Every structure is written in C-alpha cells, then in structure tokens.
Structure 1
C-alpha cells in the first residue's frame, strides 16, 4: 500500500509542477489575448451555470405548481402544505444540501487533479453520510402533526400537516440522490443531462397534478403523489446516466472502499451543512419575526410576495454559486492559482452585472410587482414600501452566494460557518428585532437589520477572498487529494470483491 501511495504522491507533485509551468506559459499568452481568455472562461462558467440555473428554476417550480393545485383543494390544505414546506421541508433541505456540498469540494478538486476514478468513491461516501442524516430527520416528518401543534399551530391545519409530512419522507430521500448526483456531474461539466431531466419532470408534474387532482379528483393524495414522482423521476434518470456508461472515467461501480475514511467526509459535511443552513434559514426567520407584528396578515402577505420574487431570483445566484464552486475546485485541484483567481473574478462580475440590471428593474417597478399576486391595495402599498429593500437584497444576492461558492470550491466551509453565525445571528437578527419591535419600524426595521447582516457578511467574504494566499490554497487542495487518494488498481480490486 505504501509504495503505490508514494508513487501517486510523486505523480501529483510532478503534475503540480507541470501545471505551474503551463500557467507561466499561459500568463505570457494571456497578455496578448485577454479577450480569448475571457471568452474561454465564460464558456466554462456557463457550461455549469446555465444548466444549474435552469434546474433550480425547475425544482422551485415543482413547489409552486404543487401549491397552486393544492390551493384549489381547500384553504386548510393550502395552509398546511405551505407550513410543512416552508418550515419542515426547508429545514431538511438546508441540512441535506449543506452536507452534500462537501461532495462539491472533493469531486471538483479530485477532477481538477486528474484523479477521476475517485469521484465515484466520494459519491458513494456522500450517499452513506446523507442516508444516515435523512434517517435522523425522518421522525420530524412522521410526527409533523404533534410537532406543529407544539409550535402553536391551528389543530385542523396541524392534522392535515401530519398527512403531508408523511408524504414528504420520500422527498427528503430524493434530495440525497438529487443533490449528490448534481454535484458529482457538475464537477465534470456534465450537468446538461440534469437540465433535460428537470424540464421533463416539471412537464410531467403539471400533467399528473391536473390528471390526479382535477380529472380523477384524488384531492390532496393526488397532488402529493405527483409531487413525489416529480422529485424522483429526474433522480432515476441521473442514476441510469451514471450507472449505464455516462461517466466511464469517474464511475467504476460500487466499492467497499466507500466505507473507508468516512469520518473526514462527515466532518467536512457537517461544516458544509452548518454554512449553508445558516444562510437558507435566514429568510425563514424574517417571516417568523414578521408574524408577531401589528397588522401581521398584511405584512406577512407583503413579505411573502417579496420573498417569493427574491426566491426566483435566488435561483440565478445559486446557479453561479455552483459555477464558482466547480471552477475554483477544478483549478485548485489542477494546481493553477491564476486560473482559480481569474474564475472568481469572472463569475462575480457576471453575476453582479445580472444582479445590477434586476436591481434597477425592481427598484423602479416597486408596487406594480404586487399586482401579479394580489389586488389588495393595502398589500400593494406594503410591497411598494418594501421594494427598495427587495432591490438591495437582489443586489447582495448577486455577490454573496457566489463568494459562498468560492468557499465551497476551496474547502473553507467551517470558516464561512463562523462568519455566518456572527453576521447573521449576532448582527443581523438582533438589529432587526431592535428596529422592528423596540423602535417600531415594523417589518421595514426587521428587513433593514437582515440586510445589514447580509452586507457585513458579504464584506467579510470579499476581504477573505481578496486576501487569500492562493498558492497555499493550491497546496491544501493537493494535500486533500493525496490524503484521500486511492490507487486505481486497488479501486478495481475492491470493485471486483464487491461484485
């Protein structure tokens, strides 16, 4: 075992030297043709960002379509679905997505280092970690009814919520396959298949929702059955693509080696989970705080409309998060610090350009946006008052998630988790409570506090990224690749034993 590892370590060192030499040559030619360099990086970025954005729009659309059909079944069912989806499913989604992002770091850096056969092992290790996590989360959904009652919700809504919670158990296990396969395929820039499957799933969901709830009148059962299928259909397609030869260099079959070195993966997954959960739950707290204000119904309607718009725009930002993570991890794994830095600049500038256009649009549209969702003049007025804060949130969203993607690509999850705790939960939320409740600025004060927290977090991430020693990051990435490296011959033997 020792000799092959030594040989592979030497190979990795020589590969790093070759990459540095190649980087110097690239530097000379890059000065001559900066346009070509920008064009190449733009193409690499959009190969990941384009399908990632479309896939996230489609996934977000599943929730909207389900909510629309359930809304025609009854108000109690709609309230129960919104409650379970917003509180419980978002809670599980944040944990599983966060922990799955560890795979993004490992696969991206291993692929960049030329260790393609390791991606399949990392994928299997991530499955093991996330399956255990999902089993731990399952009781939250099986006992959704008493849990919602404990949180003070209406008894009728809580009872229906219990039924919906049980249907969502297959959904949280669908998240495991969905998140991990997306990150595994993104690291190889093979995520167009994910976009095709997401589009097919969305169309199927519309048809089945109509068929089961309107045509056959199965009610809530029909709508939830269609929802579960909408989440699982693309997963089956992704697994077939991986298992049936779509990734011959990275998938060599199931292996007992997936059970090795699980603890380091668990630690990285936990820090990744903490980082993303703290971000994803931030807006949920905004809604909870708004519910205790005066005229809560109008304020919640207004804030929900703003957050719904913000949620759609956030899908674009999350697409660039994926692009930043893949490009940075690939280049660090390849040993190219200049390319990694250039990727950061290109992704941030592209996302910021799109965010700036949207910022101006939402700033000038103001209350007109609300007419898409409501005809209530009080809600429209409240949305118009909140529109500047929505526009600023969208501008921050164009930078902050991208920097989080850089952190995932470089493996800084634990550092960013501490930054999120300090900026969001020590600065943002307390300031929002102070302005909203004690100084009586209502929802405006709460949102100002949240924006200040986001602004501080964005500034800190910019400073961290700007002052990063990228030579050191290349070394750390190479060390991570070597630490968990498994020679391909041993990998093949392990696969044979399992078969």
Structure 2
C-alpha cells in the first residue's frame, strides 16, 4: 500500500514540478516586462526633459508667425497672400537652410556634452555664428530681388510686388536666425530647454502687444505686421544671449575665443550637409506654394494652401521638438559609447511622436470646417481649406515619424545620407506628382468651362 501510495503521488509531483516551471516562466516574463517598462519610463523622462520645453518654445515661436499671418489675413485676401508668400516662401527658403546648418551643433555639441568636453560647446556655437553669418549675407539678394523672382515663377504681378516689398522688411528677421538657432541648440544639448521656453513665452507676449499697437493703433498695415515679427525675434536673441553671457552656462561658455576661427572648413562641411538635409524638406513646401500661384484663382489657392501649411507647420513644431530631443539623446549616448542606448532612445521617440501625431490627425478631421477662421473670414477660402483638410490630417500623421528619424541621423552625424533620401522622395517623386495633379485640375476646370459654353 505504501508503494501504491507513492506511485499515486508521482503524477501529482510531476504536475507540481510542471506548475513550478510555469510559475517561474511567468515570473521571469513579469520581471522582463517590469524591466522593459522601467527602461521605457526612464528613457521617456529623458526624452521629455528635452522635448517638453522644446515643444513649448517651438510652438510659441511659430505662433508668432501665425499671429502675424492672421493679422495680415484680416487686412484682406491680397495682404494674406502677400504675407504668406513673403514669410512662408522667401523667408522660409532661407530659414530652412540656416536652421539646417545650425543643426550641426546637435551632432557636435551633443556628442561633446556626452563625452564631458564641456568647453567645446561654446567654441562650436561661435563657429556656427561665423558660418551662418557668412551664409546669411550671401542669401541677401533673394530679399532684394524677391519681386522679379516671384514674377518669373508665375505669380500675379500685384501679388509679387507686394510680397517683394514685405520681404525687404524681413531682412532683420533673417539675421536674427544667425544667432538664435545656434543659441537654441547650445542650450538644448545641455538640457536647458526650459530657459528657451521662458524666453519664448516672454517674446510671445511682447509680440501680441506690439502687433496690436503697430497694426490697429498706429495703422501701419502690412508693413507693421512685418516689423513686429522682426522686433519679437530679436527680443528672444537678446534675452538668450544675456542668459548665456551672464553666468547661466559657466562650464560651457568661457567667452569669445579665437579658437572659433580654427577648424572652420570641417565645421562648414558638416553644417552644409545638415543644411541640405533639412532645407530640402523645408523648400519642398515652399515650392508647392509657389506652384499654387499658377493655379486658377491664385489668391484663393495660395491662401487656402498657406493656411493648411501654417496649421501643419504649427503642429510640426511638436515632431521637430522630438527631432531635437532624439538628436540630443542619440548624440549623448553615442558620445558616451552606448550604441544600444541610442537605438532604444530612437524606438521610444518614434512611438511617442506617432501617438501625438495620431491625436492631432483626429483633431483636424473633427474641426475640418472650423480652423480656417483663425486666419480669414472669407467663405471661399474657408471652403477651399475644408477640401484640403483630409490631406492635411494624413500629412500631420506621417510627419510625426519622419522628423524623429531625421533626428537620429543628426545625432549620429548621417546628414548626407538623409539628404539623398530627401532628394529622391520630395523632388523626384513629390513635386512631379504635385505638378501633374495640379495640371490635371486645371485641365478639368477648363473642360468644364468649355462644355458649359458649348451648351
């Protein structure tokens, strides 16, 4: 009986052993999930430490452009179109190149900060000022000859003339980029984005007040709106410079140095690659607006597309903040010799930015017939914007991923590779398809007119 009892117990013991193994497996899975969750949480905190203030500061800074455009829009349709062409196309072309060139600092300063070579951050920033100032000076003819250039692209003469005049008034804004962009990246790589966020908020408040004074009190019209944008951006430059030079960055800012004039050629090559990488994408949107000026009812078409692109650009500040944060995280991890950490930071950033993009895609779909009221009261323009809203929503969704991947390239120093990708996707595919679809729209409209007349 004792042996039978033992035999009867054997299966139970095996089952118990099996259950033990199952419990152990579940326990291991839970431990791994807990570790992964903890890693995601820690990485998310590091990501949002850069991205959070960057989102705020970028949205606020871009909002100043949107406010300027809205003031112009309430002056009239021609004024809105002129401001859109001047700010979005002329200034935007140069903005894209200078912003891209300044992003070389994200690679250099990020890796230097990760390697604890703190003094080099100030040197790199001064080199960036020199390179960007030379580049900004070379780009000045685009402002002086904006009117004939716009006429050559097929813009209506009245629109080209007024946009050209506004462009000249934007020259001070153009030179503010030379100093502001490197200062932003200098602070960003030290995880001091909160300083830029505070400065942006101050500049925003000043911009709203000055815009009201210039446009409604002094009645300076379209030129007044341009002057307010110049003033507000230079306020931001002055405040950031005061913070840096008055002891805000004791480890990384040691004052002006002649060392900034050494190694300029290598710095220029990396800056040029960064500039080409970003401006190819940035220019793509400007070219679409220029092409829109050749469509029927050019003012309405330009107004509608520029409103959609303003909303897209407004929301794009969030993915661009993740672009900056990802670049910093990847550069810091690579500077510290941690390749796996850089890869994990990339995955977390892509997922986070995609979730944010999906949210704003849903918002645009829900408010497709409402958001144009920010810029205009013209029912024709509002209707045209409503027709474009579905494309705008999907553009916002897709744009939530692409800038983050570009941030990985900046952090790793792969700018030249991304430049080739941008040439292929935007210029060999995007623009030809846009021209073809625009031509088809014109042909369809003309066929409708012809058929209605023949009746």
TM-score by length of 1: 0.77
Find the aligned partners of 1:244 and 1:44 in 2 and give their Cα distance.
27
**Contact kept in structure 2, 1:123 and 1:184, CA below 8 Å:** yes
Q: Distance in 2 between matches of 1:221 and 1:389?
A: 33
The 3-state SS of whatever aligns with 1:398 is coil
Q: Which moved more, 1:127-136 or 1:287-296?
A: 287-296
2:355 maps to 1:356 = no
Secondary structure of 1:33's partner? helix
Out of 430-439 and 401-410, give the one that drifted further: 430-439
Q: Give 1:263 shift.
A: 0.6
SS in 2 for 1:335: coil
1:47 matched to which residue of 2? 49
1:372–1:182 distance in 2 versus 1, CA, 3 Å: closer
Give the C-alpha shift of residue 245 in structure 1: 1.0
Shift of 1:265: 0.7
Per-residue CA distance 1:16-46 (angstroms, 9 max, x = gap): xxxxxxxxxxxxx988633332222111111
Distance 2:329 2:279 in 1: 23
Question: Which residue in 2 is equivalent to 1:477?
Answer: none
Per the alignment, do residues 119 and 279 of structure 1 end up closer, same or farther by CA in structure 2, a change over 3 Å counting? same
Distance 1:83 1:325, change over 3 A: same
What's the counterpart of residue 338 of structure 2? 336
Contact 1:435–1:441 (Cα < 8 Å) also in 2: no
> Which residue, out of 190, 193, 213, partners 1:191?
193
8 Å CA contact retained: 1:178, 1:235: yes
Residue 113 (structure 2) aligns with: 111
Q: 2:236 aligned with 1:234, yes or no?
A: yes
Given the alignment, which residue of 219, 223, 226 partners 1:224?
226
Matching residue within 89, 92, 116 for 1:90: 92
Deviation at 1:256, TM superposition (A): 1.0
Cα 1:293/1:50, change in 2 over 3 Å = same
* Deviation at residue 291 of structure 1 after TM alignment: 3.4
Distance 1:41 1:354 in 2: 17
The 5 A counterparts of 1:115-126 are 115-126=117-128
Between the aligned partners of 1:37 and 1:263, the Cα distance in structure 2 is 40
Deviations 1:328-357 (A, max 9, x none): 111111111121111101111110111122
CA distance in 1, matches of 2:150, 2:441: 31
Q: Do the aligned residues in 1 keep the contact of 2:74 with 2:376 (CA within 8 Å)?
A: no
Matched residues in 1 for 2:71 and 2:433: separation?
38
Matches within 5 A, 1:392-407: 392-407=394-409
1:221 and 1:362, CA in 2 relative to 1: closer, same or farther beyond 3 A?
closer
- The alignment partner of 1:281 has SS state of helix
**1:435–1:442: 8 Å Cα contact kept in structure 2?**
no
TM-align CA RMSD: 2.6
Which residue of the partner structure matches residue 175 of structure 1?
A: 177
In the alignment, the residues of structure 2 paired with residue 148 and residue 418 of structure 1 have an alpha-carbon distance, to the nearest angstrom, of 27
2:212 to 179, 200, 210: 210
In 2: Cα distance, 1:389 partner to 1:175 partner: 31
1:64 alignment partner in structure 2 = 66
- Going from structure 1 to structure 2, the CA distance change for 1:368 and 1:147 (only over 3 Å counts) comes to closer
For 2:423, the equivalent position in structure 1 comes to: 421
How far apart, CA to CA, are the structure 2 residues paired with 1:163 and 1:302? 22
State the alpha-carbon separation in 1 of the partners of residues 434 and 228 from structure 2. 39
Q: Which residue of 1 aligns with 2:292?
A: 290
CA distance 1:77–1:374, shift in 2 (3 Å): closer
**Structure 2 regions of 5+ residues with no counterpart?**
1-30, 446-455
Is the 8 Å Cα contact of residues 156 and 293 (structure 2) preserved in structure 1?
no
Q: Contact (CA 8 Å) 1:30, 1:37: kept in 2 or not?
A: no
Which of the residues 36, 40, 47 maps onto 1:38?
40
Secondary structure of 2:103's aligned partner? helix
Distance 2:75 2:384 in 1: 29
What are the ranges of 5 or more consecutive residues in structure 1 without an aligned counterpart? 1-28, 444-499
2:268 aligned residue: 266
Residue-pair matches, total? 415
Q: Aligned partners of 2:216 and 2:431: how far apart in 1?
A: 43
CA positional deviation for 1:307: 2.1
Where does residue 319 of structure 1 map in the other structure? 321
Relative distance call for 1:82 and 1:429 in structure 2 (3 A) is closer
Give deviations 1:344-373, integer Å, cap 9, x for gaps.
011111101111222233335444545555
Q: TM-score, normalised by structure 2?
A: 0.84
Is 371-380 or 350-359 further displaced after alignment?
Answer: 371-380
